[in-house]
Amino acid sequence: MSIGADPGLVMPMHAPPCRSPRRRLLRRVLSVWLVFHVAAIIIAPAAVAPSSDLIRSAWGLFQPYLEVLYLDHGYHFFAPEPAESTLLAFVAERDDGTTVHGRIPDRATRPRLLYHRYFMLTEHMNDAPEELRSLWHESYAQHIGREYGAARVTLIQQTHNLPTRERVRGGGHLTDPESYEDQPLGTFRCDGY
Amino acid sequence: MRRLLNRASRSVTHSVRAMEEAWDAFWFTPADPTLLGVLRVLTGLMLLYTHAVWGLVLGDFFGPGAWLSERLVRAIQDGSYTYSFWWLVPGQWIWPAYGLSMAVLALFTIGLWTRGTSLLALAVTISFCHRVPAATFGLDQINAMLTLYLAIGPSGQALSVDRWLALRRAGAAARPSPSAAANLALRLIQVHMCVIYFFAGTSKLQGEAWWNGEAIWRSFANLEYQSIDMTWLAWHPWVLDLLTHVSVLWEVAFCALIWQPRLRPFLLAGAVVLHVGIGACLGMWTFGLIMLVGCAAFLPNEAVGRIVAARTSAQGRAKPLVMPWLVNPHSIQGAPRHREPIAVRRTDPSERADRANAL
């Protein structure tokens, strides 16, 4: 396989030979950077757990470069397997006793990209490291309190379990109430509303 | 003994030289920048849409009291090498900062002062992502990746206001000259797309559902992703199994097979089916489309250049257009083995002169 001479992708000819020393030096420098760059973009997804000590050490070398350029991604789309969704239900209580009930993401949100932004907020919350969870919940609660002018916000994490094929064939629906599992996250006092 | 050593030494030297030539040919062979210009326009449009949608909820995500507080984001990014201009923008200045960002993205899309605006577009894209790390997904990753490589290559040399101004000022050739930098940028996109698909595929091999055929069902049965109800496939399990296996196989094989000219159209057709499917069934049109923009880097550069030139040039004489994957891949000089004209275009003499210089 000769990919360097593939006429489908580039002009059908060789790279012209470098006659001037300056151009030759530039090509050498670029080649060194290319080796570094290609290694970096391979190490980024390879370093996602489970990964070896060797790859994790290499990640340490490439980390600044990858993070500055926003190339530090695993590309593990729907992997290791498509999982159940996480939603965030909330009850915002105002000082006058009125309450607002809501849930994100809301399937009525348009455009769809905006819906996905909210969906990512809850999905990332579910994946948050243990030490950041309370700060995460606090941040969302403060925003909801501010949004609805509420003094107290109660958060409930909902896991929407996926039905099996057999269940759907037996008459089950994706919206069946028993497919949702609630996990209270606490009630938060909101100061900034 | 000495003769044997000499022969071995010559063989090693020959191999190293051959590798060096192949490396140079792969990365530094001059290429027509037109395809890069097409990718710039498509990526720019996606950047404009992505950031226009942020504008609908700017205060909620970038203002004071945002969903992701500064304290939370700083904690998430602790020890990371991240930056965002949003940390410097006071609450009352978020709209002017946003307007300026949109202006940069618009200039990049139309290709005005592209050298500078491509770098600024990259800084804008990364700044938005780093301010709201928990609201981003694959779309943002591919947006930034493409913008980076479009900033590295001469993406403003075709289909741009810069090009139009150059034509007006100096009466340059209708088609831009091939350049090694254009090839470098296209190659970087191609290689990165291979890395993405390879890890997207191999990471799935860790999950049982991608082996037992359940994975596609689990995607369709996820109400939060669903935009078309595909649960009727529960009565056709073999279709779900087949889709699951083909998806993984296609992703894992992409990085090896895409370089084969004869297989490339099938791989790219597979990409269209996969990403249009993701867009239609899982509601992620933006992600699906930007992945297809990345895949477009594998389109036949020459053919794209000719199509664009035919559409932008009104003068000249007819010339047959050849799809390059029908050309003998072993012919370095591009001597065709099968030539099948599929369209007729008109070219102007200055363009022919330009091409003659390049070859």
Buried/exposed A142-166: b ≥16 CB within 10 Å, e otherwise: bbbbbbbebebbbbbbbebebbebe
DSSP assignment of B188-246 equals HHHHHHHHHHHHHHHHHTTSTHHHHT-HHHHHHT-TTT-SS--GGGGG-HHHHHHHHHH
Cβ-Cβ contacts under 8 Å for B114 (sequence gap 6 or more): B40, B108, B154, B155, B156, B160, B162
Give the residue from A27, A30, A78 with the most B CB atoms within 10 Å of its CB, the best one to mutate. Answer: A78
- B99 Cβ under 8 Å from any chain A Cβ: no
Place of tokens 């003994």: B1
Distance between B225 CA and the closest CA of chain A, angstroms? 9
pLDDT value at residue B174: 64
Assign A39 to helix, strand or coil: helix
Which of A55, A70, A168 is the best substitution to test chain B (most B C-beta atoms within 10 A)?
A70
Question: Smallest CA–CA separation between B35 and chain A, in Å?
Answer: 10
Say if the Cβ atoms of A139 and B71 lie within 8 Å.
yes
B212 touches chain A (CB under 8 A): no
Contact by Cβ (8 Å): B337, B306: no
Residues of A in contact with B32 (CB under 8 A): 11
pLDDT, tens digit, 9 for 90 and up, residues A44-57: 999 999 999 999 99
Instruction: Give the helix, strand, coil percentages of chain B, each rounded to 5.
Output: 70, 5, 30
What is the Cα–Cα distance from A116 to B53, expressed in whole angstroms?
A: 11
By CA distance, what is B210's nearest residue in A?
A: A81
Helix (H, G, I), strand (E, B) or coil at A157: strand
Specify the pLDDT at position A23: 87
Distance CA B56, CA A155 (A): 25
Q: In whole angstroms, what is the distance from residue A86 CA to residue A83 CA? A: 9
Q: What confidence tens digit (pLDDT) does each residue in A102-149 have?
A: 999 999 999 999 999 999 999 999 999 999 999 999 999 999 999 999
Q: What is the pLDDT of residue B74?
A: 97
- pLDDT tens-digit map of B323-343: 444 333 333 233 333 333 333
**Residue B211 sits at the chain A interface (C-beta within 8 Å):** no
**Across the A/B interface, how many CB contacts are shorter than 8 Å?**
270
* Whole-angstrom distance, CA of residue A15 vs CA of residue B88: 45
Contact: B325, A37; criterion CB under 8 Å: no
Distance between B82 CA and the closest CA of chain A, angstroms: 6
Residue B26 has its nearest CB partner, among A3, A85, A87, at A3
What ipTM was predicted for this assembly?
A: 0.92
Residue A7 is nearest to which of B67, B196, B329, comparing CB atoms?
Answer: B329
Please tell me the distance from the alpha carbon of residue B207 to that of residue A80, in angstroms, as a whole number: 4
The reported pLDDT for the residue numbered A1 is 39
The larger pLDDT score, comparing residue B332 to residue A19, is at A19
Ordered alpha helix ranges (H), B56-172:
58-62, 70-76, 94-110, 114-131, 138-152, 161-170
The interaxial angle of helices B34-55 and B180-204, nearest 10 deg, is 60
The phi and psi torsions of A100 (rounded to 5 degrees) equal: -120, 125
Task: Give B31's DSSP letter.
Answer: B
Neighbours of B81 (CB within 10 A): 13
What pTM was estimated for this model as a whole?
A: 0.89
Which pLDDT score, from 0 to 100, does residue B307 have?
A: 87
* In chain A, domain spans: 21-68, 85-189
Residue listed under structure tokens 């933006």 = B286
Q: Which residues of chain B have a pLDDT value below 70?
A: 172-174, 314-359
- What's the pLDDT score for residue B295? 98
What is the reported pLDDT for B78?
96
- A188 — phi, psi (to 5°)? -120, 135
Closest CA to B323 of B299, B347, B357: B299
Residue A8 has pLDDT above 90, yes or no: no
- Quick one: pLDDT at residue B191? 98
Nearest of B79, B91, B123, B84 to residue B104 by alpha carbon: B123
Q: Give first-to-last CA distance, chain A, whole Å.
A: 64
